[in-house]
Structure 1
Amino acid sequence: MNRVMATGEGADDRIADLVDDILVQTPLKAAAFIVTIYGDVVEPRGGVVWIGNLIETCAAVSISETLVRTAVSRLVAAGQLVGEREGRRSYYRLSTAAGSEFAAAARIIFGSAEEESWQLVHLTGAEVEERMQALERAGYARLDPRLAIGPARQVAGLADALTLRAHSDDPKALAAFVQAYWNLAPHAAAYRLFLDQFRPVAALAEKHPVAPATALTMRLLLIHRFRTVLLRDPRLPAAALPPDWPGLEARRLFAALYLLLSPSADDHIGRNFISASGPLRAMTEEIEKRLSLLETQA
């Protein structure tokens, strides 16, 4: 399927081929991609958008209108979206709970490196197993049924827990400890696949202008893939990672390509996306903040 270097094709045609390749390698689920649209496009512009915009945006990555409507219904049932009608048009906004989740994810995706320290957590009280699983999803390693260790970051569910900070000045001991409790190989492989998928896009976009609609499609795929890989990564402190850790290069590529695509992508949003109160703004204070954070990482 890789026809990227074919002669006589425009930049948008080549990027369309790259989109096809990415979708074959890592297929999309409609609900997850709609969540990405809200996180990247809608949430920093007020949280409300016309369903027609969702349908059109998803069509560019081969997600049908039927799948979009089904996914939106499921997101409403799950309490992530709330429907509104204005005349004959349907609009959907983020629920308050979903907005908080999106804000937390945005801090991880767009933010800089987190605190370089470790934390031991001893769970007390009830529902220990459920809370331990939440810690594991946040990147912690289970040491026993009530004790976990991981990066010292804010994690939900620590109200009934004893937390202790941990520190090591021995790189070899730290490396051995990480190897014993974390399997980083799947995360490294996911980052390498991300790099393989988006390096050609960056090389092309640096040399040729990309049409606004195409830029938005590729930026959404970029953040969708990076978000998927990053939020599954335990995101251990840098001192604990192998010297050739691909996550560092992946973050730099994400930041550089997001910045490269954003002027055209945001222009397309400002010209085409609407809420019940009118067009979505191409630029907001929150978007400017995101771009500023990425400029320090590219």
Structure 2
Amino acid sequence: MKPRAIVFDLFGDHLRYHGGEARLQALGELLEVFGIGESTTRVVLARMRREGWFETRREGRETVYALTDRSWQLLDEGRTRIFDRQHEPWDGQWRMVIYGAAERDRADRDRLRRTLAWLGFGPLAPATWVSPHPRLDEVTRAVASSPATKVDLLTCRSAGRTADREMAARCWDLAGLGADYAAFVDRLAALPSPGELAELPGARALRLRIELVSAYRTFPFRDPDLPGELLPEGWPGRRAHELFVAAHDALSGPADRYVTEVLTRQTP
């Protein structure tokens, strides 16, 4: 895990519930749990402040790092995407985005592709992306700031369920994603029971909880949360999510007690 990713996960999983801020000394102690030294902590936090992720203020001789509005938005979006996975019945309709951008507007086009992937769209053709989710309004808002990129938004149906499954297989690497989910399920199944996890020492529980978040949060960027009608038989994604949430919740108590102890100890 990279230090800046650990910082984001610490704030997203714990420190946001303690006012979204922490003293440098407390952050240093928490990052030591992950083997990150003081000098690296200072460099990473200073760089993230320059990038606009943190505001700082002085309290006596101590520097306090506080989340900016931009950071709050990122953490809110990430938490929703990680924990609120979609399992609603599908209405059988595809939402299609057809876009066009001049070659000189490549940056806008690439930004749109990233946005579409985040919203659960997949590339059916080079400039045609589809999703089973009703998120065309989000696409409209996303392209509002890029007038050079023209889009057509459609709602349509395929010839039938066989065609639907074939389209899903073309748009997303479901075989590769399923294999990675299965490996993650095996990793989670090897953990102690939720009751045992809840009894772990605080520092160990914190490290394990952040490690699990770090490992799992890559999936929502790759998984469009397809309805069951479009997924291969025996899809392991939902089992992975269930096991992840159970372990994450079990580790919450000892991990957050440890974070609270560190914050309290470093407060004059």
Give TM-score scaled by structure 2 length: 0.80
Does structure 1 retain, via aligned residues, the 8 Å contact 2:164–2:230? yes
Residue aligning to 2:40: 67
- SS of 1:245 mapped into structure 2: coil
Does structure 2 retain, via aligned residues, the 8 Å contact 1:140–1:234? yes
Which of the numbers 203, 206, 223 marks the counterpart of 2:213? 223
Please provide the CA RMSD for this pair: 2.9
Residue 253 of structure 2 is aligned to residue 263 of structure 1 = yes
5 Å-filtered alignment, 1:97-108, equals 97-108=70-81
Does structure 1 retain, via aligned residues, the 8 Å contact 2:95–2:131? yes
Residue aligning to 1:163: 153
Change (3 A) 1:33 1:179: same
Residue aligning to 1:122: 98
Residue aligning to 2:12: 39
Report the more deviating stretch, 133-142 or 154-163: 154-163
Aligned AA for 1:134?
Answer: T
5 Å-filtered alignment, 1:15-164, equals 28-113=1-86, 116=90, 118-123=94-99, 127-152=108-133, 153=135, 154-155=138-139, 157-159=142-144, 161-164=151-154
Cα separation, 1, equivalents of 2:42 and 2:161: 51
Identical columns (%): 27
Cα separation, 2, equivalents of 1:204 and 1:250: 15
Cα separation, 2, equivalents of 1:149 and 1:31: 33
Residue aligning to 2:243: 253
- 4+ residue segments displaced more than 4 Å: none
What's the CA shift for 1:134?
Answer: 2.7
Does structure 2 retain, via aligned residues, the 8 Å contact 1:50–1:92? yes
Residue aligning to 1:187: 177
What's the CA shift for 1:50?
Answer: 1.7
Cα separation, 2, equivalents of 1:102 and 1:204: 26
What's the CA shift for 1:190?
Answer: 2.8
Cα separation, 1, equivalents of 2:250 and 2:96: 40
Does structure 1 retain, via aligned residues, the 8 Å contact 2:120–2:131? yes
Cα separation, 2, equivalents of 1:275 and 1:239: 52
Which of the numbers 163, 167, 177 marks the counterpart of 2:167? 177
Cα separation, 1, equivalents of 2:121 and 2:265: 40
Cα separation, 1, equivalents of 2:132 and 2:47: 34
What's the CA shift for 1:84?
Answer: 2.0
Report the more deviating stretch, 92-101 or 122-131: 122-131
What's the CA shift for 1:128?
Answer: 3.5
Change (3 A) 1:180 1:142: closer
Does structure 2 retain, via aligned residues, the 8 Å contact 1:142–1:149? yes
Give the length in aligned residue pairs. Answer: 251
- SS of 1:270 mapped into structure 2: helix
Does structure 2 retain, via aligned residues, the 8 Å contact 1:188–1:245? yes
Residue aligning to 1:199: 189
- SS of 2:34 mapped into structure 1: coil
Superimposed CA distance per residue, residues 38-72 of structure 1 (whole angstroms, 9 cap, x where no aligned partner): 11112233211122232222222222222222221
Residue aligning to 1:13: none
Residue aligning to 1:6: none
What's the CA shift for 1:173?
Answer: 2.0
Long gaps (5+) in structure 1: 1-27, 280-298
Aligned AA for 1:189?
Answer: A
Does structure 2 retain, via aligned residues, the 8 Å contact 1:213–1:265? yes
Give TM-score scaled by structure 1 length: 0.73
Report the more deviating stretch, 41-50 or 150-159: 150-159
Cα separation, 2, equivalents of 1:257 and 1:269: 18
Aligned AA for 1:97?
Answer: R
Cα separation, 2, equivalents of 1:54 and 1:65: 9
Superimposed CA distance per residue, residues 230-255 of structure 1 (whole angstroms, 9 cap, x where no aligned partner): 33323323321112222111100011
Residue aligning to 1:238: 228
Change (3 A) 1:210 1:94: same
